[in-house]
Structures are given as C-alpha cells and as structure tokens.
C-alpha cells in the first residue's frame, strides 16, 4: 500500500515509516496545496491508496481527483472541516478523523 503523508514534523517521518514497514510511505513537509501541481507529486499520487493530512491541507473534489486509487483519507486532527466528507464518500472511499474514529461523522 502507498501512503502519502502531509505536513509532517521532523520526527514523524521515521516514526510513520517504522509503523508501516511493508508499505511505501511518502512524506511532505508542506500542505497538500503547496505540492499538488508539481510533477514529482503527480507521479507519486497515481498509485497512492491512503492520503494522510493535517489541518493545513484542504481535501476536496479537486484534490481527490489527483488520487485515482485512493481508498482512505485520514486526518490527524480531531476536527475534519478541512476534508470534504461528501466528496470523499462520492468518490467511493472512506475518511477517518482522529476524533471520530468509529463515529458517524467520517
């Protein structure tokens, strides 16, 4: 599985890669909007199955369209107003929030 992880702190990359040793984890220090139009990012997004964001990355229809194999949008925040949950559902994949795991909100 390929995970793309946005707005990482310095210590997070090593931690997340250890947590998912059998998966490909690509980390960006910047929010999604700062890298979404770059050629390097677009090549990475093609086969990503998980998008992991924080509050600085907005995720809506335009952003979701960049991930044809996406299965899950996960936000590392208790709120999820930066994720268009309806667009995620319409795209046929789930979304999850640190504060709403297992709830009806995501």
Evaluate whether residue 106 is within a structural domain. no
Is residue 104 one of the residues assigned to a domain? no
pLDDT at 93 (0 to 100): 66
Q: Is residue 31 part of a domain?
A: yes
CATH of residue 90's domain is 3.40.50.720
Q: Is 11 left (phi over 0), alpha (psi -120 to 50) or beta?
A: alpha
Question: Does 82 fall in a domain?
Answer: yes
Res 100 pLDDT > 50: no
Whether residue 55 is contained in a domain is answered as yes
pLDDT in tens, 25-73: 999 999 998 998 888 888 888 999 998 998 888 888 888 888 889 888 8
Task: Write down the mean pLDDT value for the chain.
Answer: 83
97 — pLDDT class (breaks 50, 70, 90): low
Are the CB atoms for 8 and 27 separated by under 8 Å?
yes
Whether residue 30 contacts residue 7, with contact meaning beta carbons closer than 8 Å, is answered with: yes
Domain span including residue 42: 2-97
Residue 103 lies in a domain: no
Number of domains comprising the chain = 1
Quick check: helix, strand or coil at residue 24? strand
Looking up tokens 């590392």 gives: 76
In a domain, 37, yes or no: yes
């Amino acid at each position: 599985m390929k995970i793309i992880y946005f707005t990482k702190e310095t210590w997070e990359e090593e931690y997340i890669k250890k947590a998912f040793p059998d998966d490909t984890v690509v980390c960006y220090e910047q929010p999604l909007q700062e890298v979404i139009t770059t050629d390097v990012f677009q090549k990475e997004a093609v086969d990503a199955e998980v998008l992991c964001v924080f509050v600085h990355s907005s995720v809506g229809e335009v952003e979701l369209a960049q991930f044809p194999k996406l299965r899950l949008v996960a936000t590392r925040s208790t709120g999820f107003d930066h994720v268009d949950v309806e667009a995620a559902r319409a795209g046929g994949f789930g979304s999850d929030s640190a504060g709403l795991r297992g709830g009806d909100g995501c």
